[in-house]
Amino acid sequence: MNTTRRSLLTAAGVTLAAAPVRAQPHTIETATLPAPAPLVVPYLGRHQAGVVTPQPYSGLFASFDLLVETREELAALLKLLTERIAFLTQGGLVPPLDPGFPPADSGILGPVIRPERLTMTLAVGASLFDERFGLSALRPPELVEMTDFPNDALDGDLCHGDVMLQICAETPEETLHALRDVIKHTPDTLSLRWKQEGFAATHGARSGPLGTGRNLLGFKDGTANADSGNPATMRALVWTQADGETPAWAQDGSYMVVRLIRNYVERWDRTPLGEQEQIFGRRRDDGAPLGLAQEHDDPRYTDDPRGERIPFDAHIRLANPVGARGGDAPLTGAATTTRMA
């Protein structure tokens, strides 16, 4: 998904198993089919779901301003959000109500909620730790508001927020359903500030491994991402640790960064392919670094100290400034930072 941004995540734990899928009578007996991934993702655990959970096909970010005024009201809101996340991610029957009142659910998923790998990751912004609730001493040291980058054209109404939800699932109607549910249950406690919907590249995914998806510019996106299945790597790059500065409540959480990037595809589609590849530093068809054979080959900047093979202003160099001019550090993937757009 094409998103990035900053805010704090944390949670604590339990697990849940999905029911097995029974083979139907017409199953082809000569084929060995892979076991389907569980449709229900545990919402409790040492870390929040949705951070290292395998990439879904659909996602949505929603930022809210708080309407509560006291710490007690804030606590009640967080409890309510936990209850809604539990129901939406684990599924169940929508309770019937008197038809003279609004229904308990929007109905877009039917009378029974059957999650398809739905995760709802809760984050809080730097503004939560202002003077309103007396929480300033509990703000994690790296949690700050997003700053302007060169060439930014930020709209203040579409930046920051007190609380953020990252909602991911297999279908866009499921993420929209979850957002509508939260908004329905928090009319006097949360006000939607901005939202951004996104999707993962799905072309061919149903017939094979998803692999590295492609962005709207046609290039593979995420080749150098850190391995989310490697616990040691995630401890080093993603999860907050007991370092003497991070508050105890925030340990084993993470920082989230979301930046909304506008792609001018009309101009891009009229740009020569060779120029596009020079801009990215990779071949478009297979994602290999320029001059090399395969997508995951080390760009070998030490062999290109003058930027003749991969220009110094190519995307893959700018996205990995450490070692980009031929230093000792290899391409390591994206670092976790802490901005909230």
Q: How far is CA 293 from the centre of its chain?
A: 30
Distance separating the N- and C-terminal Cα atoms of the chain: 16
The whole-number pLDDT of residue 6 equals 34
Q: Quick check: helix, strand or coil at residue 262?
A: coil
**pLDDT at residue 157 in the model:** 85
**% of the chain residues with pLDDT over 90:** 62
Measured CA angle at 174 (ends 222, 239), to 5 deg:
45
* Domain extents in the chain: 8-13+32-255
Q: CB–CB of 181/169 below 8 Å?
A: no
Structure confidence at residue 326 (pLDDT): 53
- Contacts of residue 198, defined as CB under 8 A and 6 or more positions apart, other chains included, come to 1, 2, 3, 58, 59, 60, 61
The answer to whether residue 335 scores a pLDDT higher than 70 is no
Average pLDDT of 262-279? 95
Whether pTM exceeds 0.95: no
* Joined tokens for residue 309: 């093979």
Question: Worst-scoring range by mean pLDDT, 27-36, 131-140, 155-164, 210-219?
Answer: 27-36
Q: Is 242 exposed, middle or buried (0-12, 13-18, 19+ CB in 10 A)?
A: exposed
Model confidence at 240: pLDDT above 90: yes
- Residue whose C-alpha is closest to residue 329's, from 305, 300, 296: 300
Measured CA to CA, the distance from residue 49 to residue 176 in angstroms comes to 18
Q: In the predicted model, what is the mean pLDDT of residues 119-136?
A: 96
Which of 308 and 16 is assigned the larger pLDDT? 308
Report residue 336's pLDDT band, with 50, 70 and 90 as the boundaries.
very low
Question: How do residues 278-302 score in pLDDT, each as one tens digit?
Answer: 999 999 999 999 999 999 999 999 9
What is the pLDDT, as a whole number, of residue 104? 94
* CA–CA dist 221, 198 (Å, integer): 14
Say which residue the tokens 């149903």 belong to. Answer: 206
**Does 8 or 309 have the greater pLDDT score?**
309
List Cβ neighbours of 70 (8 Å cut-off, separation of 6 or more): 133
User: How far, in Å, CA of 341 to CA of 339, rounded?
Assistant: 6
What is the token pair recorded at 236? 């080093």
Q: What is the pLDDT of residue 321?
A: 66
Given its phi and psi angles, is residue 262 left (phi above 0), alpha (psi -120 to 50 degrees) or beta?
beta
What's residue 42's pLDDT?
Answer: 94
Identify the pLDDT of residue 209. Answer: 53
pLDDT at 208 over 80: no
**Rounded CA separation 123/47 (Å):** 12
Q: Please tell me which residue, 158 or 61, carries the higher pLDDT value.
A: 61
| Position 202 confidence tier, pLDDT thresholds 50, 70, 90 | low
Closest listed residue to residue 120, CA positions, set 190, 177, 46, 77: 177
- On the question of pLDDT at 5 being above 90, the answer is no
At residue 158 the predicted structure's pLDDT band, cuts being 50, 70 and 90, is: confident
Q: Per-residue pLDDT averaged across 226-249, rounded?
A: 91
Is residue 222 scored above 80 in pLDDT?
Answer: yes
Predicted pLDDT at 277: 98
